[in-house]
């Protein structure tokens, strides 16, 4: 896995959300107007508008006290139904798990196993409970008609949905935090004496390449490796990888960590690794500061510390010089590092996440509990979906539905993406059929007439629909943060936490709307 996702940008994300949500709401609205027109005639659309107006009114008039009352009821119900019992299951699982985890592994692997085990167990125990509770609550309330005593009080239907979601979220928080604490204590005891729990904070940069003549390119050399993840720089030439790291804090010392891959075209010196050199560059000042070369650790980690004051031999001036890392080298809050391979005829491979600046470590607790929060966020996400779906279907169906969302969100999304992007060639479905039947290949120009225009606009609509569907499916893999922690990394705020929070909120809003309308438009009779 890579720990390096694109960072979360609030502005574009919001725009994207508004776009997807707007399309979705627009479609639902137009379809309801059309149906209303068909069923009720001219008064139909007015009625739909009335509903929208009423909805607006109900959302503005919500009362925190009523929502809290329903949350409290939900919590009491869950507690008295002994939902917290799952915590006991967890505690006993964890108590005996030590026997089954291998203890003759390398120390760091033991740590990794223990952390993964604890976090995975927490999510595997929490999610089913959350799924059951949230999908079962409302349908049961409707079946027993206890909901009649609530909706005959001045309770808005959206308050019921909100109260339920809030209540279940609090139950989930209780379960997850208790498990988190027990899990933490257990991990602490599980760690062997010669290992430590670390939480590294990496800062990643942008990667570009210079070819052997020193010209900028996107990609380095392809050495024929089937996996195109890494690009290669050629040794002994001007070819190099250029990392640009964001640098906005001044520190006494900077540590670079990297994992590079060597690709050999000849044996070279037996028993010696490739020689690598970092060159710090300030492009504005034309300053180049070569650091001492080192042998690359081909299957391990290269660590290189750089002090703030750097002494080096300036080849241009033929003199020893001392520069200040932050005053002289860092340019516009960016630190540029060129990575060069010094062995002629050998190649050095790297990708963006292969090199980072390691900031001062955080405490392991911080990283660990961020991952626990990840589980909680996923629970809240599922609760929103579960409660919403349970407003219009019965418990078992609702569970199935929510579970499907979970499955699809975990892996199926990739497949959908390929399907959709794969179809781009040769136009949409109708156009491709047309081309197929008329034996036109997909590079031939279509005639410019009304039929073709019509065909293409229908196709565009269809592709738009697919686009919407694709963007409605959440990517739930972001919520799984245990790999960061298990591998000794902090859970980054921007690329993981912020995304998950945004995703949870982003889905919560439409869920509230759908839940509100389905509770308002249906008779609350058990059918």
Partner 1 sequence: MEKQPVIQIKNLTKIYRDFWGRKKVRALNSLSLEVKKGEVFGLLGPNGSGKTTTMKLLLGLLFPTEGEINVLGKPASDVSKNEWIGYLPEESYLYRFLNAEETLDFYGRLFDMSAQQRKERANQLIEKVGLQNARKRQLKEYSKGMTRRIGLAQALINDPDLVLLDEPTSGLDPLGSRDMKDLIVKLRDEGKSVVMCSHLLADVQDVCDRIAILYAGELKELGSVEDLLKEQHETELLTSKLSPEAVIDIEAVLAKHNAKLLRHGHPTNSLEDLFLKTVQKSQERPGQRYVPTGSEKT
Task: Name the residues that contact partner 1, by CB under 8 A.
Answer: 63, 65-66, 68-69, 72-73, 76-77, 80-81, 144-156, 523-525, 527
* Beta carbon nearer to partner 1, 74 or 169: 74
Say whether 35 sits in a helix, a strand or coil. helix
Q: What is the Cα–Cα distance from 343 to 339, expressed in whole angstroms?
A: 13
CA dist list (Å): 2 to 230, 256, 263, 489? 12, 18, 21, 12
Which is closer to partner 1, CB of 319 or CB of 523?
523
- If the CB atoms of residues 68 and 326 are measured against partner 1, the closer one turns out to be 68
**What are residue 288's DSSP bridge partners?**
281
Pick between residue 5 and residue 143 the one whose CB is nearest to partner 1.
Answer: 143
Taking the complex as a whole, how short is the minimal distance between the CB of residue 392 and partner 1, in angstroms?
12
Question: DSSP characters for 103-137?
Answer: SSS-HHHHHHHHHHHHHHHHHHHHHHHHHHHHHHH
Q: In the complex, what is the shortest distance from the CB of residue 76 to partner 1, in angstroms, rounded to a whole number?
A: 7
Q: Closest approach of Cβ 164 to partner 1, in Å? A: 13
The answer to whether the Cα torsion of 118, 120, 122, 125 is positive or negative is: negative
Nearer residue to partner 1 within complex by CB, 66 or 370: 66
- Token representation of residue 102: 């291998």
Nearer to partner 1, 75 or 337 (CB): 75
Distance in angstroms between the alpha carbons of the first and the last residue of the chain: 48
Instruction: Give least dist CB 413 to partner 1, A.
Output: 33
Taking the complex as a whole, how short is the minimal distance between the CB of residue 385 and partner 1, in angstroms? 23
Minimum CB distance to partner 1 smaller for 65 or for 317: 65
**427 and 167 Cβ atoms separated by less than 8 Å:** no
Q: Which is nearer to partner 1, 156 or 499 (CB)?
A: 156
Instruction: Round to whole Å and give the CA distance between 391 and 384.
Output: 11
Least spacing, CB of residue 44 vs partner 1, in Å: 15
Which run of H or E residues covers position 399?
Answer: helix 395-407
Task: Please check whether residue 387 is in contact with residue 164, taking contact to mean a CB–CB distance below 8 angstroms.
Answer: yes
The CB-of-462 to partner 1 minimum distance in angstroms stands at 30
We find the least distance from the C-beta atom of residue 170 to partner 1, in angstroms, to be: 16
Nearest-approach distance from CB 133 to partner 1, in angstroms: 14
What does the alpha-carbon distance between residue 345 and residue 236 come to, in Å, rounded to a whole number? 7
Nearer CB in complex with partner 1: 56/407: 56
* Sheet containing 261-264: order of strands: 231-234, 346-350, 261-264
Which of 32, 239 has the CB closer to partner 1? 32
Between CA 202 and CA 3 the distance in angstroms is 10
Q: 153 vs 267, which CB is nearer to partner 1?
A: 153
Our CA angle for 30, 33, 39, nearest 5°, is 140
Q: Kindly state the smallest distance separating residue 257's Cβ from partner 1, in Å.
A: 55
Angle at 148 between CA 147 and CA 151, to 5 degrees: 85
Contacts of 106 (CB under 8 A, 6+ apart): none
| Longest distance between any two alpha carbons in the chain, whole Å | 90
SS (H, E, C) 326-340: HHHHCECCEEEEEEE
How far CA 238 is from CA of 104, 214, 321, 344, 446, in Å, comes to: 46, 5, 23, 11, 48
Pairing status of strand 253-258 against strand 302-307: antiparallel
Least Å distance between CB 411 and partner 1? 34
The answer to whether 7 and 495 have CB atoms below 8 angstroms apart is: yes
Minimum distance of partner 1 from residue 519's CB (angstroms): 12
Spatial contact of 58 and 158, defined as CB atoms under 8 Å apart:
yes
Nearer to partner 1, 48 or 210 (CB): 48
């Amino acid at each position: 896995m890579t720990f390096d996702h694109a960072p979360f940008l609030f502005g574009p994300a919001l725009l994207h959300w508004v776009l997807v949500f707007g399309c979705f709401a627009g479609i639902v609205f137009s379809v309801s107007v059309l149906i209303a027109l068909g069923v009720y005639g001219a008064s139909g659309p007015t009625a739909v508008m009335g509903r929208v107006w009423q909805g607006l009114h109900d959302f503005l008039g919500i009362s925190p006290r009523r929502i809290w009352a329903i949350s409290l009821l939900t919590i009491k119900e869950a507690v008295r139904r002994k939902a917290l019992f799952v915590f006991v299951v967890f505690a006993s699982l964890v108590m005996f798990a030590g026997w089954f985890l291998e203890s003759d592994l390398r120390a760091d692997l033991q740590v990794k196993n223990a952390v993964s085990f604890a976090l995975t167990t927490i999510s595997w125990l929490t999610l089913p409970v959350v799924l059951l509770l949230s999908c079962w609550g409302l349908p049961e309330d409707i079946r027993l008609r206890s909901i009649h005593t609530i909706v005959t009080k001045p309770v808005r239907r959206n308050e019921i949905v909100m109260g339920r979601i809030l209540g279940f979220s609090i139950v989930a928080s209780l379960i997850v935090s208790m498990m988190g604490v027990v899990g933490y204590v257990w991990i602490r005891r599980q760690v062997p004496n010669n290992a430590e729990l670390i939480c590294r904070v990496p800062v990643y940069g942008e990667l570009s390449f210079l070819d052997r003549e020193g010209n900028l390119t996107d990609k380095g050399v392809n050495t024929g490796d089937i996996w195109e993840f890494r690009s290669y720089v050629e040794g002994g030439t001007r070819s190099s990888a250029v990392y640009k790291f964001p640098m906005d804090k001044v520190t006494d010392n900077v540590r670079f960590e990297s994992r590079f891959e060597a690709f050999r075209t000849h044996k070279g010196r037996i028993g010696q690794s490739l020689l690598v050199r970092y060159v710090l560059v300030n492009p504005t000042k034309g300053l180049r500061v070569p650091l001492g070369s080192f042998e690359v650790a081909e299957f391990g980690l290269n660590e290189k510390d750089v002090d703030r004051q750097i002494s080096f031999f300036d080849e241009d001036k033929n003199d020893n010089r001392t520069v200040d890392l932050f005053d002289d080298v860092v340019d516009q809050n960016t630190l540029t590092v060129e990575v060069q391979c010094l062995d002629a005829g050998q190649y050095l491979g790297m990708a963006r996440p292969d090199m980072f600046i390691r900031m001062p470590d955080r405490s392991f607790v911080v990283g660990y509990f961020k991952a626990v929060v990840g589980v909680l966020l996923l629970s809240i996400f599922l609760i929103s979906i579960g409660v919403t779906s349970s407003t219009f279907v019965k418990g078992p169906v609702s569970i199935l539905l929510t579970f499907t969302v979970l499955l699809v969100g975990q892996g199926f999304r990739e497949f959908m993406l390929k399907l959709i992007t794969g179809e781009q060639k040769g136009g949409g479905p109708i156009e491709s059929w047309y081309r197929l039947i008329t034996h036109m290949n997909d590079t031939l120009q279509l005639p410019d007439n009304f039929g073709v225009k019509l065909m293409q606009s229908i196709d565009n609509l269809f592709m738009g629909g697919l686009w919407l569907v694709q963007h409605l499916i959440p990517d739930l893999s972001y919520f799984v943060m245990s790999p960061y922690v298990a591998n000794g990394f902090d859970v980054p705020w921007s690329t993981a936490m912020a995304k998950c929070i945004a995703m949870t909120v982003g889905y919560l809003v439409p869920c509230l709307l759908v839940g509100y309308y389905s509770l308002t438009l249906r008779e609350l009779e058990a059918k």
